[in-house]
């Protein structure tokens, strides 16, 4: 009965946010609720196999988290609208309506970027082999599986020797930043350019993202590929909105149709990548995807059966990035492990419990409401600032980079524990200068290009 109640709760909040946000299909709260709906549908489908039986406490947590999400979205929407009124937005491209534009980066710059990223990927692969050799015999298992096991053990123990060097770490962060900037350039030309969207020379801007995805495979983390996929889709949607304004019903249906096809295609790729680390060998495609997306809800319900008090250390589960920084600076002797304890559901095990578990465990019900509202507020503020200004710019890249944290809330908490990390401060700095030097400097109106090509 509580399964049906949970389904009704999710559908009610989806209808509410759809109506209140002017039938917007891509608002932050809509993203969050839809993923929760998909997760819940998997729980209904596998209710006997996973032994799903939601408690009344689970429904209370669900309503509390959803109410906070809706409140944060509404507050962020109003603030995002008010901030842009009467103010000139200097962080974007002021484009004339109806004109065609393109971002044309010099070939020498593109070549330098590609070479840098290839070298970084090669050095990173060698370093992964070194880390794997510290924890096992590479001849016994696949290289990527050994790397995954080694990095997991190193992360759990805080082994500094098993970490990458400072120079390589920053090279990886710079490569990641370049990948997000270049996918923005590729999508911008696809939406705003008539000359280049079908031209072969626009393909070069997709090369750095491809290299980054290959680098992500080397790290054995499929999640980074998922985050990049979510960010790219959101960038395209926002750029399309900047170009065409209010999206028609026909365009919405097209976005939904292609969105579903892309999600299915990505799920297949996600499952196939699991064979590289042997995570997909013992499970079917549907079991793998269902446990990844839906296992968090039944795990949260299991955890709530024994939940009685908050954690011993302040922000132990939520403020992981900040506490790791304090540990590295010697300000605390307690090393924070991001991975949570495992719980069983049927024949399966999981250690992700949605974003609600970390907030509730650290700060109680009041903290759950406040932190969930705050994280949604940030997403909603940025989203509505971009949407209402309709001016392409660096904010789209920033929003595309962090949107994964909203999309993943039904699975795990990533805003306070992953987005608020020192590494992302470096990425923000790198992104600012790369955007100024590569994107903004090379934005041109295609009419000017045609004028230059005409014989004098």
405 near 419, Cβ under 8 Å? yes
Rounded to an integer, what distance in angstroms lies between the CA atom of residue 283 and that of residue 380? 37
pLDDT in tens, 370-385: 999 999 999 999 999 8
113 near 437, Cβ under 8 Å? no
By the 10 Å C-beta count (0-12 exposed, 13-18 middle, 19+ buried), 48 is classed as exposed
Model pLDDT, residue 88: 47
By the 10 Å C-beta count (0-12 exposed, 13-18 middle, 19+ buried), 211 is classed as buried
Question: Structure pTM?
Answer: 0.88
Model pLDDT, residue 369: 96
The 8-class DSSP code of residue 348 comes to E
Contacts of residue 290, defined as CB under 8 A and 6 or more positions apart, other chains included, come to 42, 45, 46
Model pLDDT, residue 286: 86
Rounded to an integer, what distance in angstroms lies between the CA atom of residue 297 and that of residue 357? 10
Rounded to an integer, what distance in angstroms lies between the CA atom of residue 99 and that of residue 129? 50
Model pLDDT, residue 454: 47
Question: Tokens standing for 58?
Answer: 């689970």
Q: Which residues pair with 92 in a beta bridge?
A: 393
Residue 363 sits at φ, ψ, to 5 deg, of: -130, 5
Spell out the SS3 assignment of 177-201.
Answer: HHHHHHHHHHHHHHHHCCCCCCCHH
Rounded to an integer, what distance in angstroms lies between the CA atom of residue 403 and that of residue 405? 5
Question: Which helix H or strand E contains 344, and what residues bound it?
Answer: strand 343-345
Burial 101-127 (b: 16+ CB within 10 A, else e): bbbbbeeeebeebbebbbebbebbbeb
DSSP secondary structure, 387-413, as one string: HHHT--BHHHHHHHHHTHHHHTTTTB-
Rounded to an integer, what distance in angstroms lies between the CA atom of residue 177 and that of residue 117? 11
Those residues of the chain that have pLDDT short of 50 are 85-86, 88-89, 140, 156-161, 450, 452-456
Question: Tokens standing for 153?
Answer: 């053990």
Rounded to an integer, what distance in angstroms lies between the CA atom of residue 134 and that of residue 129? 9
């Amino acid at each position: 009965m509580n399964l049906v109640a949970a389904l009704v709760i999710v559908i009610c909040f989806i209808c509410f946010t759809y109506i209140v946000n002017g039938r917007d299909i891509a608002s932050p709260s809509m993203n969050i609720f839809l993923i929760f709906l998909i997760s819940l549908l998997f729980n209904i489908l596998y209710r006997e196999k996973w032994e799903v039986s939601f408690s009344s406490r689970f429904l209370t947590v669900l309503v509390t988290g959803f109410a906070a999400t809706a409140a944060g979205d509404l507050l962020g929407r109003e603030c995002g609208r008010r901030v842009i009124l009467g103010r000139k937005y200097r962080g974007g491209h002021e484009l004339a309506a109806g004109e065609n534009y393109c971002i044309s980066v010099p070939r020498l710059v593109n070549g330098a970027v590609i070479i840098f990223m290839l070298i970084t990927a090669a050095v990173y692969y060698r370093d992964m082999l070194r880390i794997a050799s510290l924890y096992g015999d590479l001849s016994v298992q696949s290289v990527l599986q050994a790397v995954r096991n080694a990095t997991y053990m190193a992360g759990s123990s805080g082994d500094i020797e098993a970490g990458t060097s400072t120079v390589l770490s920053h090279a990886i962060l710079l490569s990641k930043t370049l990948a997000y900037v270049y996918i923005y350039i590729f999508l911008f030309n696809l939406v705003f350019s008539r000359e280049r969207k079908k031209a072969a020379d626009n393909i070069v801007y997709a090369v750095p993202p491809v290299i980054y995805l290959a680098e992500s495979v080397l790290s054995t983390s499929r999640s980074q590929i998922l985050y990049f996929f979510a960010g790219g889709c959101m960038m395209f949607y926002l750029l399309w909105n900047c170009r065409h304004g209010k999206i028609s019903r026909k365009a919405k249906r097209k976005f939904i149709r292609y969105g579903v096809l892309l999600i299915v295609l990505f799920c297949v790729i996600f499952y196939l990548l699991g064979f590289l680390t042997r995570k997909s060998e013992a499970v079917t495609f549907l079991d793998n995807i269902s446990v990844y997306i839906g296992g968090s809800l039944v795990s949260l319900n299991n955890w709530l059966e024994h939940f009685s008090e908050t954690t011993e250390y302040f922000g132990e589960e939520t403020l992981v990035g900040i506490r790791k920084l304090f540990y590295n600076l010697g300000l605390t002797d307690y090393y924070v492990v991001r991975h949570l304890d495992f719980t069983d559901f049927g024949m399966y095990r999981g250690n992700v419990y949605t974003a609600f578990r970390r907030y509730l465990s650290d700060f109680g019900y009041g903290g759950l409401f406040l932190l969930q509202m705050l994280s949604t507020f940030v997403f909603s503020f940025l989203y509505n600032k971009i949407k209402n200004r309709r001016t392409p710019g660096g904010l789209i890249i920033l929003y595309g980079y962090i949107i994964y944290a909203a999309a993943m809330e039904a699975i795990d908490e990533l805003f306070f524990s992953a987005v608020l990390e020192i590494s992302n401060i470096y990425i923000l700095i790198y992104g600012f200068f790369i955007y100024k030097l590569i994107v903004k400097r090379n934005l041109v109106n295609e009419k000017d290009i045609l004028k230059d090509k005409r014989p004098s």
